[in-house]
C-alpha cells in the first residue's frame, strides 16, 4: 500500500496547458508566466473544478522543478487564525526569492474559512510585501472574503466543468487504468459529479473496486446514491397517494444505499422537473423540500422528517 496514489492525484494536471476546461483563465495565467509577473489572485468557484490545480500548475510553470521552495501552501480551514497570518505567512512573505522570478507565492486554499481578524491582518501583509510576494487565495464563496482583500486581487471565477469535458477526462483515466465504461455508467458519473471533476474521478475509482467493467449500478452503489429512477418512483408513489409503498421505497434507499436524509432530499430536489405534475405542484414540492431540508440542518430525525415530507406530497395534487 506504500505505492498507493489516489487517481485524483495521479491524474492531476502538472502544467497550465494540461488543465481541462477553464480555457479563458488558463490563457490569462499563461500570460503571467510569460511575463514573469502577476498581481495577487483570488480564485472563486465550487469545489473540484481546478482552483488548487491551477495555483500549483502556475507555480510549477513559473519556477520549474524547484517550485516547492518558492511557494507556501496553506489550507486555511486548518490554519485560519490571526496567529498564522502574523507568524508563518509574514515570515515567508518578507524573504526574497532566489529564483529568476523576483517574487514568491503564498497560496491560501479555502481562504473563505479565514476569520475576519485574520483577513484584516492579511490585507496589510499583502500591501507591505507586494514587492517580493504574491498571494493566491482560493475560495468556494468569494462573498466571504472581505472587500479590502478582494480589491487587492484579480478575481478569477471558475465555472463547473461541462459534461463533455468530464467525459473526456473519464475516458482518459479509464483507458490508463484498464477499465471499461458503458454509456449508462458515464451518465451516472456525470449525474453524481455535477461538474466536479474530483468527485467524478473518485466515484470512478470506487466503482473500479467492484470490477473492471463498470456499470451504472456499481457507480451508484459505490457513491451511496440512488438511481434517479428510484427517487422518481418514490415521489410519484407519494403523489399517487400510495404512502405505504412510498415509505417502503424510502426505507429501502436509506438502508441498502446507506443514504443520509440530506442526500435523499437533494436527489428529490433534482428530480422535481421530471415529475408528471403541473408547475403549481412543482412549486409546492420545492417549497416543502426546502422546509424539510432546514429541519434536517437544525438536527431533526432524518427518517421521521423524510416520511413527513412524503406525507406532505399526498396533499400536493
pLDDT for position 3: 56
CATH number at residue 25: 3.40.50.300
Question: Rounded to the nearest 5 degrees, what angle is found at the Cα of 281, between the Cα atoms of 275 and 282?
Answer: 55
SS3 sequence of 32-80: HHHHCCCCEEEEECCCCCCHHHHHHHHHHHHHHHHHHHCEEEEECCCCC
Distance separating the N- and C-terminal Cα atoms of the chain: 55
State the total domains in the chain. Answer: 3
For the sheet with 133-139, list strands across it: 71-75, 104-109, 133-139, 40-44, 153-157
Q: What percentage of the chain carries pLDDT values higher than 90?
A: 56
Q: Which residue has the higher pLDDT, 11 or 154?
A: 154
Is residue 270 one of the residues assigned to a domain? yes
Q: Which three cell numbers stand for residue 227?
A: 438511481
Which structural domain range is residue 50 located in? 7-157
Residue at a domain's end among 188, 222, 256: 222
Per-residue pLDDT tens digits for 82-133: 666 677 778 888 877 777 788 999 999 888 888 888 888 888 888 888 888 9
Shared-domain flag, residues 152 and 270? no
Of 176, 202, 222, at which residue does a domain stop? 222
* Same-domain status, 57 and 112: yes
Q: Is the domain of 11 the same as that of 28?
A: yes
If DSSP codes are grouped into helix, strand and coil, which group holds residue 139?
strand
The answer to whether residues 235 and 288 belong to one domain is yes
CA 264, 266, 270: angle at the middle one, nearest 5? Answer: 115
Last residue of a domain, one of 222, 248, 267: 222
Task: Kindly report which listed range (71-75, 77-81, 87-91, 149-153) carries the lowest average pLDDT score.
Answer: 77-81
Residue 50 lies inside a defined structural domain of this protein: yes
- Confirm whether 197 is domain-assigned: yes
Position 296 in a domain: yes
Same domain, 204 and 259: no
3-state secondary structure of 153: strand
Q: Write down the mean pLDDT value for the chain.
A: 89
Task: Check pLDDT > 70 for residue 2.
Answer: no
Distance CA 314, CA 311 (A): 5
Question: What is the C-alpha to C-alpha distance for residues 96 and 261, in angstroms, rounded to an integer?
Answer: 52
What are the DSSP E strand ranges found in 95-202?
104-109, 133-139, 153-157, 180-181
- Does residue 138 share a domain with residue 120? yes
Angle at alpha carbon of residue 160, lines to 277 and 31, rounded to 5°: 155
176-189: average pLDDT: 92
Contact 114, 82 (CB under 8 A): no
pLDDT in tens, 257-300: 788 889 999 999 999 999 999 999 999 999 999 999 999 999 99
234 and 207 in a single domain? The answer is: no
CA dihedral 81, 84, 86, 89 (to 10 degrees): -140
CATH number where 233 lies:
1.20.272.10
What CA–CA distance (Å, rounded) separates 194 from 78? 26
- Does a structural domain hold residue 1? no
pLDDT at 66 over 90: no
- Domain-embedded: residue 39: yes
Report d(CA 134, CA 231) in Å as an integer: 48
In a domain, 2, yes or no: no
| Per-residue pLDDT tens digits for 193-250 | 988 999 999 999 999 988 889 999 899 988 888 899 999 999 999 999 999 999 999 9
- Looking at the fold, whether 175 and 62 belong to one and the same domain comes out as no
Burial class (CB in 10 A: 0-12, 13-18, 19+), 186: buried
Residue 237 belongs to some domain of the structure: yes
pLDDT, tens digit, 9 for 90 and up, residues 8-64: 888 888 889 888 888 899 999 999 999 999 999 999 999 989 999 999 999 999 998
C-alpha–C-alpha distance, residues 154 and 232, integer Å: 44
**Are residues 235 and 304 both part of a single domain?**
yes
Q: Give ∠ CA 164-31-51 in degrees, rounded to 5.
A: 45
22 and 152 housed in the same domain: yes
Relative to beta strand 133-139, strand 104-109 is parallel
Q: How distant is the alpha carbon of residue 102 from its chain centre?
A: 33
- Beta partners for 157? 44
Are 192 and 110 within one domain?
no
pLDDT of the residue at 1: 39
Q: Are 50 and 20 in contact (CB under 8 A)?
A: yes
Question: CATH number of the domain that 210 lies in?
Answer: 1.10.8.60
Average pLDDT over residues 64-70: 86
Give the C-alpha distances (Å, rounded to integers) separating 81 from 74, 76, 134, 141, 169.
12, 8, 20, 18, 37
Q: Based on the fold, state whether residues 38 and 176 are members of the same structural domain.
A: no
Amino acid at each position: 500500500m506504500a505505492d498507493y496514489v489516489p487517481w485524483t492525484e495521479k491524474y492531476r494536471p502538472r502544467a497550465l496547458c494540461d488543465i481541462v476546461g477553464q480555457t479563458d483563465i488558463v490563457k490569462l495565467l499563461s500570460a503571467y508566466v510569460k511575463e514573469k509577473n502577476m498581481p495577487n489572485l483570488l480564485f472563486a468557484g465550487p469545489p473540484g473544478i481546478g482552483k488548487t490545480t491551477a495555483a500549483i500548475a502556475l507555480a510549477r510553470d513559473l519556477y520549474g522543478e524547484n517550485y516547492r521552495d518558492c511557494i507556501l501552501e496553506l489550507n486555511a480551514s486548518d490554519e485560519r487564525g490571526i496567529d498564522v497570518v502574523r507568524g508563518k505567512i509574514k515570515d515567508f512573505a518578507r524573504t526574497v526569492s532566489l529564483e529568476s522570478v523576483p517574487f514568491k507565492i503564498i497560496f491560501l486554499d479555502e481562504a473563505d474559512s479565514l476569520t475576519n481578524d485574520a483577513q484584516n491582518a492579511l490585507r496589510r501583509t499583502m500591501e507591505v510585501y507586494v514587492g517580493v510576494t504574491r498571494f493566491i487565495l482560493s475560495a468556494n464563496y468569494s462573498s466571504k472574503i472581505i472587500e479590502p482583500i478582494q480589491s487587492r486581487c484579480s478575481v478569477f471565477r471558475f465555472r463547473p466543468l461541462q459534461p463533455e469535458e468530464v467525459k473526456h477526462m473519464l475516458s482518459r483515466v479509464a483507458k490508463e487504468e484498464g477499465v471499461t465504461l458503458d454509456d449508462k455508467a458515464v451518465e451516472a458519473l456525470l449525474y453524481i459529479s455535477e461538474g466536479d471533476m474530483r468527485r467524478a474521478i473518485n466515484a470512478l475509482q470506487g466503482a473500479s473496486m467492484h470490477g473492471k467493467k463498470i456499470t451504472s449500478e456499481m457507480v451508484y452503489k459505490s457513491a451511496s446514491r440512488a438511481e434517479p429512477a428510484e427517487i422518481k418512483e418514490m415521489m410519484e408513489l407519494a403523489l399517487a397517494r400510495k404512502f405505504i409503498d412510498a415509505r417502503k421505497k424510502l426505507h429501502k434507499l436509506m438502508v441498502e444505499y446507506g443514504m443520509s436524509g440530506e442526500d435523499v432530499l437533494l436527489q428529490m430536489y433534482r428530480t422535481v422537473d421530471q415529475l408528471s405534475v403541473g408547475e403549481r405542484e412543482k412549486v409546492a414540492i420545492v417549497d416543502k423540500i426546502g422546509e424539510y431540508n432546514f429541519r434536517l440542518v437544525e438536527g431533526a430525525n432524518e427518517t421521521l422528517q423524510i416520511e413527513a415530507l412524503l406525507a406532505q406530497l399526498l396533499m400536493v395534487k
